[in-house]
Amino acid sequence: MAKSSGPGPSIGIVGAGAGGLSLARILTERGLANVTVIERAGRIGGKALTIPYQGVPHELGTCYTTYGYTHIARWMEEYGIESQRLPNHIIQLPDGTPQDFRDFVLGSNKVKAYAEIARYIWVWWTRFFTRQHFARKTEAFDKEFSQPFGAWLDDNGFSVVKRFAWRTITGMGYGHVDDVPALNGLRWNMPSLILSAAAIRVDEPVPGYQVLWQNIAWNLDVRLDHHIEKVTRHGERFEVETNKGTLHFDHLVISSPLDDLARWMELRPDEEECFSSISWGEYVTTLVVAEGWFQTENTHSFASNLYGANGDRRGHVLVARRTGPKTPVSEAREEGRPDVYVCYQYGGDGMTDEVLGEYLAADIAAQGGKVVEVLNRSRWKYMPRMTGEAIAGGNVWRLRELQGKQNTWYTGASLSHEAVDNIVDFNMQLADRMEYRIKGFSDKPLGKFGFMARQRWRHYLTLHNK
């Protein structure tokens, strides 16, 4: 990978996943080119993992783009990466009946359903997004959004959105809809996601997400196989000792899991307090060749497993995706090619590879299919979230107040959400703060509304390449 260098303070970013690479790209676009990304693995991409098999790339990690992926769409266009529409999504009801997922969500009264969605979007903007980004810390905000997302949806009469959330929250590995805090549920189930589903505007990069990150990383200084052994803060500077030597930075950005920090950096009391309330789950993706399973839909969800994913159905297949032809070559060779599926399960205590494999084979057999070969299984440390008690106690705001202390910055899923568009949007705002700090500007004279207006203007100019 080519090294980028430039004037200005040195910036180290820990982690070459979506959080680290997108921030490095954004900072470089802003003219802050003295950025180094440190990655302990031997590849870039983090939770993006594309596995080619018989000429077709299969996504075992990040897979979709929707309306909200504006920056990703711009980068894909820049690198000539095309996308493929995924229009067919079936959910199998507990009684075994297959139903189109959009019909499942909307129900029989479409007018009433769309009216509810419109009301949800209004509430999302006025009671969640605006208060989260513009308002000061309030106990009412903390209390409301610390409760489980399912309970919040029930209290507000959003039954349509709750059916949608069984797939977008529980089915995508973010936790059980009746357990995950409303803060996390609302961060992901934003208007752009709901409108994308309504318009069947869910796409997948043809060559795979990992190819996008490889293109982005090409002109960045990315150090692979660098295991951090110790980070020492000398005031506002950093000494980073790795297995391949010592690096020095003026600013350090952490995009890796925050609970890993204590292994190699002495934390301040305020950092310990914030990070100790964050826990992770495990999501498992398995690439499998199967015979006799579903053929016509892109995605198949299993309602009975979604509903029970927090208890007796843990380990069972929540969702499966069939990867069809993506290119003219793969389409021409489709006849005779084996059917390959990506299957999604929750892991955790007691869920060994053997146990997960048994659940997988049994679930496929129950649908009339048969596992021929398991090609790959990836176990992801996934979906960080604060406890409801920590959210109610104002930990969201305290975590924000840590940004920039001793030139230490934080990004990634712990600060926003696992979804790539959430992380990139968060990094646009983080890059603003870093840029203003480095260039000696301040957002305080403008206040919160002025600072956000300036951010949105910067966002607009970036999207339109001006």
CA-CA distance, 88 to 219, in Å (whole number)? Answer: 37
Domains and CATH numbers, the chain: 11-47+208-277+387-463 (3.50.50.60), 50-206+279-386 (3.90.660.20)
CA-CA distance, 286 to 219, in Å (whole number)? Answer: 32
Confidence label for 287 from pLDDT (cuts 50, 70 and 90): very high
| Position with higher pLDDT, 327 vs 77 | 77
Mean model confidence pLDDT for the chain? 89
Q: For position 275, what pLDDT does the model report?
A: 93
What tens digit of pLDDT does each residue of 138-159 get? Answer: 777 889 999 999 999 999 999 9
Q: For position 452, what pLDDT does the model report?
A: 47
CA-CA distance, 403 to 225, in Å (whole number)? Answer: 27
Rounded average pLDDT over 241-255: 97
Confidence label for 136 from pLDDT (cuts 50, 70 and 90): low
CA-CA distance, 86 to 106, in Å (whole number)? Answer: 19
Q: Which residues contact 284 (CB under 8 A, 6 or more apart)?
A: 344, 345, 346, 347, 351, 356, 377, 378, 379, 380
Q: Which residues contact 176 (CB under 8 A, 6 or more apart)?
A: 150, 169, 170, 309, 310
Rounded average pLDDT over 10-15: 97
Report helix, strand or coil for 13.
strand
What tens digit of pLDDT does each residue of 20-60 get? Answer: 999 999 999 999 989 999 999 999 999 999 999 988 899 99
Is the pLDDT confidence value at 5 over 60?
no
Confidence label for 75 from pLDDT (cuts 50, 70 and 90): very high
Query: Above pLDDT 90, what percent of the chain?
Result: 72
What tens digit of pLDDT does each residue of 199-247 get? Answer: 888 999 999 999 999 999 999 999 999 999 999 999 999 999 999 999 9
CA-CA distance, 38 to 228, in Å (whole number)? Answer: 8
Q: For position 463, what pLDDT does the model report?
A: 47
Separation of first and last alpha carbons in the chain: 27
Under 8 Å between Cβ of 340 and 60: no
Rounded average pLDDT over 123-137: 80
Rounded average pLDDT over 240-266: 95
